[in-house]
Structure 1
Amino acid sequence: MGKMKDVDGENHGKGKRSSKLCGTNYPVSIAFIVVNEFCERFSYYGMKAVLTLYFINYFNWNKNLSTSVYHAFSGLCYFTPLLGALIADSWLGKFKTIIYLSIVYVIGHLVKSVGAIPDVGDKTVHVVLSMLGLGLIALGTGGIKPCVAAFGGDQFDEENTDERRKFFSIFYMSVNAGSVLSTIITPILRGDVQCFGGDCYALAFGVPAALMVVALVVFIAGSGLYKKSPPEGNVLVRVCKCIGFAIRNRWRNSKKSPKRKHWLDWAEEKYSKRLIQEIKMVCRVLLLYIPLPMFWALFDQQGSRWTLQATRMNMNFGGGFIVKPDQMQMLNALLILVFVPVFDMGIYPLVKLCRIKLTPLRKMATGMILAALAFCAATVVEIFVIKTVVEPPAAKESLVQVYNLMDSKVTVHFQEYTGFSESLTPYKDSSGYSILPLRGDSEVHAVTVDHNGDKYECALMFTERMAYSLFLHPPVQPSGSVCKLVEDHITKSETGAAFVRFFNTHTELINATVGTEEVYAPGNYGMSYNISVPRGVYNKVNCMTNSKRYEIDLGLLDFGAFYTIILSEEGNDLVGRKMEDIRANDIHIAWQIPQYVLITAGEVMFSITGLEFSYSQAPASMKSVLQAGWLMTVAFGNVIVLIVAEGAGMEQWVEFLLFAALLVAVSIIFSIMGYFYTYVDPDQMFKEEAIDGKVESSKKDEMVSLAEQTKQTKL
C-alpha cells in the first residue's frame, strides 16, 4: 500500500512544530489547546449553569420537565462525539473538524442568546430559538469533544509518555478553571443585571457566546505549531463491516471449520490481523464501559436536582454575601483545581508507599463509591429541606389554613368534616395547613364560626389540589359575613426569593411598594395578588391611600418564605402584621458542601483516570472513536436521569437514595469486570508484532534461498 494521502494538507515533518515550552518536553502547541479548552468550557458551563432556572423562570416549566430537557440536552452533547470522531477520523482530520464544528457552536450560542430576548417574539418563538440553539451547541461541543483531547495527546512524541499523562491533568484543570469562573459569573449576569424588566438571561447566554468566539480565534492562531495527524480512513465503518463479517462467517461455517480462539478471528479471511487485533482491544474496553453511565447519572444532577435543592436553602453567608443557587456548581470546578494536584502529588504517592496497587480501574471503582456517598449526603440534606416545603394536596383533597382577625378567640368548625375544629388566638400565625377531603373535584363546605357566643355560617367552595387561606374578620354589613377565602400559592420560589401579599382591613384601597414592586390591595378585607421580592430587610415600605401616605416596617423577608401582611388602621397610623404562611428556607446552603466534596473526589478518581485510560488502551487509529465511546457513557447517564425524572414520580430524597444504591451495585459489578481485565500497551504490542513479522519474513527468505541453492547443486 502507498502512503495515505494527507487530506488536511498537513506537513508531518518536524521543524518548528517540535518546539518545546521553555525547559520542558511540552510542545508549545499545547498552550493554544489548553487556552482554547478553557474558553470553550467557560462557554459551555456558563450557559449550562443558568439553564435549569431559565426553563423554570423564563418558560414557566415545572421542575420535572425542566430537569428532563436539561438532561436531554446534556445527553445529546455526549451522543454527538461519535459523529465528531467519524468526521475527524474518516474525512476532515481532527484539526479541521474542531474548526468547522466550533463555527456551528458559535452560531448555536448566538441563536440561544437571541431566543432569550423577550422582544423577539412570543413564547413559541423563544422556545423554538432556544431549542434550535441548544441543538447546534450540542452538535458543536459534542463534535469537537473527542477531537480536542486526542489532538492534544497527538502533540507529544512517543517517548514523552509522562508528559502526555500529566497533560491530561493540565487539560482537565483548564476545563475546570473555565467552569469555575463561568459558574460564578453567569449567575451574576443573570440575577444582578436587570434587562427587559427581569433577570438578564440574554446577557448570561451572550457572554459565553463571546468566549466561544475567543476559543475559536485562539485555536486558529496556533495552527502553524500543531502536529496534525492525517485521517485514518472511515474507521467505524471498517470496524462495523469487520464485526458483521465475523458474525456472518461464524454463523455459516462454524460447523464446517475448526473452532477459533476468538469470535472476531472468523474475519481473518477478509481482514488483516492487525485490524482484528485493534477491534478486539476496543471491544474489551467498550465492555468495561457498560456500567459507567450510572456514575454520570449522578454526577450531572449537580446542574439540575442539586441546583433545585439549593433554591430551597438559606443562601446568606453574612455581611451581605449571598450565593445564588446556580453558583453552587462552581464548587465542583473549584475543588477539582485543588484536588487534582492533591491526588497526584499527595494521595496517590501515599497509597503507593503503603504498597497498595492502585490501578486505573480500581481508582474508577473508588470514584463510584465516593459519588454514591455524595448522594447519601444529598439525601440527608433533602430530608431536612423538605420540612420547610408544603406538600401539594392529592386528588379529591384541598389544603386550608385559618387566620383569626377578630378581637378575641374564635372557634371554627367544618360541619361535613369532623376532623377540623380549631380555636384561634387573634392575629397569630395559622396553625398550618390541614387536609380537607372532598367528595369530588370540588365541594361546598359549610363552616361554623363561634365568636363570643355569636355563631356565623359560611358556605365555601373548595377545589381539589388547591390550597386556601380562610380569614375570619369582624362582620361586614349588611351581609354580616365573617369569612374571606383566598387561594394560596404554596410553591417555593426557584430563585430563593420571598413571596408577599397584602390583606387590607382598611376601608380604602392601598397601594404598597416593596422594593421595586408595586401591589394594590382593595379595601374592606381585600387581598392583593402575590409579588416576588429578593431576600432582604424592608424597614420602609410605602403604603398609599387616596388621602394619606403611610410607612410600615416588614423587617426581614427571608429566602423562600411566603408572607401575608395584614394591614389594619390603629388610631391615625397603619400597621402591617406579618404572617408566615410558608416557612423560610432555614437549612443553610453550606450543608451542600460535603456532597460536592465527595462527588468531586469521585470525579478526580473516575473521570480523569477514565480519560487517560481510554487514550492509553486505544490503538493509534481508533483513539478518537474510543474517546467518543467514553463520552457516550455520559450521554446514557443523562438518559437514565431523564427516564427517572419523568417516569418515577417519587419524592426527591427517595430518588437520591435510589441513585446511590444503584451506583453501589454497579461499582461492585465494575470491580468484578476490572479484576479480569488485562492492561495493554497498543503501540508496544504492534511494534513487537512488526519485529516478529520481520524476523519471520527473514527466516522464510533464508529457507527459500537455501532451497534454491540445493536445487542448483542437484542440477
Structure 2
Amino acid sequence: MEIEPVKNQLKTPKSLWYIICHTLCEQVNFSGIKAIMVLHLTSELNYTQDDSMMIFHSFMLMSYLMPLCGAIFADSYWGKYKTLIRLSVVYAIGNVILTGSTMADNFSFDTQRYITIAALLIISIGNGGIKPCTYTFGGDQFQLPEQKDQLATFFNRFLIAVYLGILLAKFFIPELRASIHCFGRDSCFPLAFGVSTLCLLLGIGGFFMGRNLYIKRKPENHVIFRTFGCICYAIYKKITSKSDNAHHWLDRSKDKYTLIEISDTKAALDVIHIFIAFPVFNALYEQQFSRWTFQATLMNGKIEAINWEIKPDQMQTIYPFLSLIVLFYFKSTVYPFFAKFGIRTPLQKLILCHTFAVFAFMSTTILQYVIFGEITTISRHEGRFSVYNDFNCNVHINSSTMPIDDIVESLGTSNFKCTPTFNKEAVNITLKFDNSCSSYHDKLLYTEVTISKGKSISYLLTRTLNNDTILRSINNHDDLKKSKNGNPRLRILMNNNLKTDRFFELTIPGKKYFTPYQVSSFASEHFKEVAIGNYTLRRGGEVISTNIRLMPATIYTLLIHNDSRKLESKLFASDRGNHLHVLWQLPQYVFIVFASTIFFSTSVQFSFTEAPLRIKSFIAACSFLAHSAGNLIVVLTSSLSIEQQVHEYLFFTGLMFLDTLLLAYLSSNYKYKTFKQRTIDFEKGQIINENTQIKDLPSNKT
C-alpha cells in the first residue's frame, strides 16, 4: 500500500533548473530571430513591408501550429522528454541553415530567399514542437495538489527565464546586427543569427545533462486521438440517435469510451471554449515584433547625452524588461492591487489583460497619426496648381480670369487654389520676370495652366535646350499619397540637359555600403519612395549640396538648377511628417507589457490546472493553436494591403474591444475545476500516478 508523503516533506525537484536553463537559452534564440527577422526580410532580401509581415507571421503561425504535433508525439508516442530532445535537434538544424543563408553570397538572390524560407519552416517545426512540452514537462515533476504552491513558484521562475531570455535577445542581437559590419554590408545579420544559434545549442546541451534527474511519464496510447474520437463519436451519436437521455452530449460516447476519457474530454472542451477569445489578443501581441518595429524605423532613436542610438528592433527590449519587473511584484503588489477592485480569478485577470491590449493599440494608432502629420486634402470643387521657379530671379504670376496673383521667388515655389467652372479648365496666366533677370531676353511670358477639380498639378518654369522660356507641366497630376510604410517620397526636377547626366547621385555619408540613388532614375519626375536619411548630392567627385534631409512620411521635391556659373539645388517639402523620438512608443509598450505578462502567466497556470493530467500537452497545444490563429489574422489583414497604416491599427483596436466583450461573455458561466495529480516515473519502476477530478467550483465568479 502506497503511503502519501506529508506535504512539508515534498521538496522542489532539482531537475527544474535544467528545464529553466533550456528555456532561457531557447528564448534567447527564438526572440533574437523574432527581433531582427522583419528587418532582414526588408533590408537584405528586399521584400516589401506587407510581404515581410506575411512571411514573418506565417512563420509565427507555423511555430504555434506545430505544438499540436508536438503534443501528439509527447502524449501518445515519445513522451515529453524524448519529444523535447528530438525536436530541439530539428530546431538547431533550422538555425544553422538560417545562419548559413545570410552568408551565402555565392547563391542567387532568389536562392537565398528560398533557403531562408526553408530554414524558417524547419525552425517552426522544431520550436513549435517543443512549446507544449517544456512547461508541462516541468509540471510533471510535481505532485498535486500537495505541491500546488511550489508549482506556482516554478511557473513564476519559468516566466522569469522566458522574459530574461527575451530581454537579452532584444538588446544584444539587434546591437550585433547594427553595430558590426561584415560581408560588405552596413550590418551583420550572420553574426546576430550565429550567436542566437550558439545559445540554443548550449540550452540543448544543458537540458540533456539533467536526463537522469527527470520524472518521465510514460505516454498513453493515442490519448489525443482518443480525445478527438470521443468528440466525433458523441457528435455522430447525437445526430443518429433518436433518444436523448444523456445529461451531457459527450455522455453519448460512453458505450465506446471510458468514463475517465469522457470526463477529461468535458474538462478539455470547457478550457478550449475560453480559448476562442485568445486569437485576437495574440494577433495584437505579435505585432510588437513586426508592425511596431516598422513604426520605430520612422522615429529618431538618438540619445545625445551618451552618443548612442536606440535601434528600431531594440525597442522590443522594453517588453521583457518591464515584464520582469511586473513578475517580481506579482504576489506582493500586482495581484493584491487587483484584488482591491474585485479582480481575483484567472478569467477576471484575462479580461483585464484584453482591456490593456485595447489601450495599447489606441496608443499605437494615435502615435501613427502624429508621425504621418499633414495630409493635403483638396476639395472636390477646387483645383490646385504649383509653380516651381528654375530661374534665379523672382517671377510675378497673375491671371485676369482667376484670383491668381503672387510672386514666385528665385528658385522657389508657390501654390494656387482655384474653383474652376468645369471639371478640367485651362486658365490663361501672365508671368513677369523682375529686373534681376536682365540676362534673359524674355521679360513676359503668356501661357496657360490646367486646373482640375480635386487634383493638384505642378509646373516647372525653366528653359529649353534652345534657351526658350517655358512653363511645362510635370506629369498629368501630383500623386501626393504617402507611402504606407512611412518612407519619404521624392521627385527631382531639372533641365532637360541634366536628365541624362549619369554622374549625378544622392548618397548618404557614413554609410559605406549604401547604394546611391542615380538622379537619372528620377527623369520621369514621378514621386519615388526613398530611404530616410541625410543625403549629399554629388556629380562625380564634386559635392553640389549637403544636408538634404529626407524625413519620414513627407513629400519632397528637389530642384536642381544649372546656369553658366554653378550647379545648385533646393529642397521643397509638403505634407510634412513628424520625426518623433522613438521613446514615444513607451505608452503602447507599457500597456502591452501589463496585458501580455499577466495574460501569459495566468493562461499558462489556468490551462495547466484546469486540464486533466492525461492531456495537459494537448491543452497546451490548443492554447498555442489560438496563438497560431492570431498570427493568421495578421497574415490575412496584411494580405488586404490596407492603404493607410493608421486605419489598420484602428481596425485592430476595434477588433480587440469586441474580443474583450466576447471573453467576458464566455467567462460568465465557466466552472473552475481541481484535479489531484501524483507523480510517476516508469523508468525507475515507481508507479505513483493518479489523476482525479476533485470538484467543480461554483461559477458565480468569473
The TM-score bracket by the shorter chain reads 0.7 to 0.9
Match of 2:624 among 627, 631, 651: 631
- 2:59 equivalent in structure 1: 73
Match of 2:184 among 176, 196, 215: 196
Q: For the Cα contact (< 8 Å) 1:535–1:559, is it kept in 2?
A: no
- 1:583 equivalent in structure 2: 576
- 1:265 equivalent in structure 2: 251
Give the distance between the partners of 2:326 and 2:640, measured in 1 at CA: 36
* One-letter amino acid of the counterpart of residue 171, structure 1: F
Q: Secondary structure at the match of 2:192?
A: helix
Question: Are 1:101 and 2:87 matched, yes or no?
Answer: yes
- 1:237 equivalent in structure 2: 225
Structure 1 window deviating more from structure 2 (25-34 vs 374-383): it is 25-34
Please give the per-residue CA displacement for 1:35-56, whole angstroms capped at 9, x wherever unaligned: 2111111111211222222333
Give the distance between the partners of 1:596 and 1:551, measured in 2 at CA: 43
Give the distance between the partners of 1:556 and 1:603, measured in 2 at CA: 38
Q: Secondary structure at the match of 1:673?
A: helix
Q: Secondary structure at the match of 1:28?
A: coil
Match of 2:313 among 304, 322, 326: 326
- 2:391 equivalent in structure 1: 406
Match of 2:461 among 457, 467, 472: 472
Give the distance between the partners of 1:99 and 1:620, measured in 2 at CA: 22
* One-letter amino acid of the counterpart of residue 78, structure 2: L
- 2:410 equivalent in structure 1: 426
- After superposition, where does 1:104-183 map in structure 2 within 5 Å? 104-117=90-103, 119-158=105-144, 159-183=146-170
- The alpha-carbon distance between structure 1 residues 399 and 302, as it changes in their structure 2 partners (threshold 3 A), is farther
- The alpha-carbon distance between structure 1 residues 272 and 130, as it changes in their structure 2 partners (threshold 3 A), is same
- The alpha-carbon distance between structure 1 residues 496 and 512, as it changes in their structure 2 partners (threshold 3 A), is closer
Q: Secondary structure at the match of 1:683?
A: strand
Q: For the Cα contact (< 8 Å) 1:543–1:551, is it kept in 2?
A: yes
Q: For the Cα contact (< 8 Å) 1:467–1:490, is it kept in 2?
A: no
- 2:610 equivalent in structure 1: 617
1:141: how far off?
A: 0.9
Q: For the Cα contact (< 8 Å) 2:72–2:618, is it kept in 1?
A: yes
Q: For the Cα contact (< 8 Å) 1:505–1:567, is it kept in 2?
A: no
- After superposition, where does 1:188-337 map in structure 2 within 5 Å? 188-194=175-181, 195-255=183-243, 259-319=245-305, 320-337=307-324
- The alpha-carbon distance between structure 1 residues 133 and 502, as it changes in their structure 2 partners (threshold 3 A), is farther
1:243: how far off?
A: 2.2
Give the distance between the partners of 1:141 and 1:359, measured in 2 at CA: 31
1:57: how far off?
A: 2.7
Q: For the Cα contact (< 8 Å) 2:60–2:631, is it kept in 1?
A: yes
Give the distance between the partners of 1:86 and 1:532, measured in 2 at CA: 49
Please give the per-residue CA displacement for 1:503-528, whole angstroms capped at 9, x wherever unaligned: 68999966776414666668xx9999
Please give the per-residue CA displacement for 1:171-214, whole angstroms capped at 9, x wherever unaligned: 11211211122222232333333333344333333332222222
Please give the per-residue CA displacement for 1:588-613, whole angstroms capped at 9, x wherever unaligned: 32221111111111112222100110
- 2:655 equivalent in structure 1: 662
1:431: how far off?
A: 5.2
Q: For the Cα contact (< 8 Å) 1:83–1:143, is it kept in 2?
A: yes
Q: For the Cα contact (< 8 Å) 2:28–2:168, is it kept in 1?
A: yes
Please give the per-residue CA displacement for 1:650-697, whole angstroms capped at 9, x wherever unaligned: 6332332232222222222222321211111122799796999xxxxx
| Matched residues, number | 649
- The alpha-carbon distance between structure 1 residues 654 and 511, as it changes in their structure 2 partners (threshold 3 A), is closer
Structure 1 window deviating more from structure 2 (166-175 vs 423-432): it is 423-432
Give the distance between the partners of 1:124 and 1:420, measured in 2 at CA: 54
- The alpha-carbon distance between structure 1 residues 602 and 241, as it changes in their structure 2 partners (threshold 3 A), is same
Give the distance between the partners of 2:98 and 2:29, measured in 1 at CA: 12
Give the distance between the partners of 2:449 and 2:356, measured in 1 at CA: 57
* One-letter amino acid of the counterpart of residue 639, structure 1: L
Please give the per-residue CA displacement for 1:145-166, whole angstroms capped at 9, x wherever unaligned: 0001111112233322112112
* One-letter amino acid of the counterpart of residue 102, structure 1: S
- The alpha-carbon distance between structure 1 residues 580 and 87, as it changes in their structure 2 partners (threshold 3 A), is same
Gaps spanning 5+ residues in structure 2: where?
A: 1-7, 434-442, 679-688, 696-702
Q: Secondary structure at the match of 1:116?
A: helix
Q: Secondary structure at the match of 1:229?
A: coil
- After superposition, where does 1:557-706 map in structure 2 within 5 Å? 558=551, 577-580=570-573, 583=576, 585-647=578-640, 649=642, 651-683=644-676
1:572: how far off?
A: 7.7
Gaps spanning 5+ residues in structure 1: where?
A: 1-19, 693-715
Q: For the Cα contact (< 8 Å) 2:373–2:575, is it kept in 1?
A: no
1:636: how far off?
A: 0.9
Match of 2:47 among 61, 72, 80: 61
Question: Are 1:350 and 2:357 matched, yes or no?
Answer: no
Give the distance between the partners of 1:496 and 1:582, measured in 2 at CA: 13
Give the distance between the partners of 2:205 and 2:173, measured in 1 at CA: 22
Q: For the Cα contact (< 8 Å) 1:502–1:521, is it kept in 2?
A: no
Give the distance between the partners of 1:84 and 1:545, measured in 2 at CA: 60
1:280: how far off?
A: 0.9
1:418: how far off?
A: 8.6
- 1:371 equivalent in structure 2: 357
1:312: how far off?
A: 2.4
Give the distance between the partners of 1:26 and 1:328, measured in 2 at CA: 36
- 2:681 equivalent in structure 1: none
1:614: how far off?
A: 0.3
Give the distance between the partners of 1:89 and 1:684, measured in 2 at CA: 16
1:282: how far off?
A: 0.6
Please give the per-residue CA displacement for 1:253-298, whole angstroms capped at 9, x wherever unaligned: 442xx61211111222222211111111111111111122111121
Give the distance between the partners of 2:414 and 2:27, measured in 1 at CA: 49
Q: For the Cα contact (< 8 Å) 1:78–1:632, is it kept in 2?
A: yes
Give the distance between the partners of 1:105 and 1:622, measured in 2 at CA: 24
1:457: how far off?
A: 5.6
Q: For the Cα contact (< 8 Å) 1:82–1:625, is it kept in 2?
A: yes
Please give the per-residue CA displacement for 1:332-366, whole angstroms capped at 9, x wherever unaligned: 122111111233320212344x3835100100011
1:109: how far off?
A: 1.8
- The alpha-carbon distance between structure 1 residues 26 and 82, as it changes in their structure 2 partners (threshold 3 A), is same
Give the distance between the partners of 2:406 and 2:219, measured in 1 at CA: 79
Question: Are 1:454 and 2:454 matched, yes or no?
Answer: no
Give the distance between the partners of 1:449 and 1:190, measured in 2 at CA: 57
* One-letter amino acid of the counterpart of residue 670, structure 2: Y
- 1:10 equivalent in structure 2: none
Q: For the Cα contact (< 8 Å) 2:465–2:497, is it kept in 1?
A: no
TM-score (normalizing by structure 2): 0.80
Q: For the Cα contact (< 8 Å) 2:373–2:578, is it kept in 1?
A: no
Give the distance between the partners of 2:60 and 2:319, measured in 1 at CA: 17
Q: For the Cα contact (< 8 Å) 2:386–2:413, is it kept in 1?
A: no
Q: For the Cα contact (< 8 Å) 2:303–2:309, is it kept in 1?
A: yes
Q: For the Cα contact (< 8 Å) 2:173–2:192, is it kept in 1?
A: yes
Q: Secondary structure at the match of 1:554?
A: strand
Give the distance between the partners of 1:428 and 1:500, measured in 2 at CA: 15
Q: For the Cα contact (< 8 Å) 2:488–2:555, is it kept in 1?
A: no
Fraction of identical pairs, as percent: 26
Q: For the Cα contact (< 8 Å) 1:550–1:573, is it kept in 2?
A: no
- The alpha-carbon distance between structure 1 residues 594 and 641, as it changes in their structure 2 partners (threshold 3 A), is same
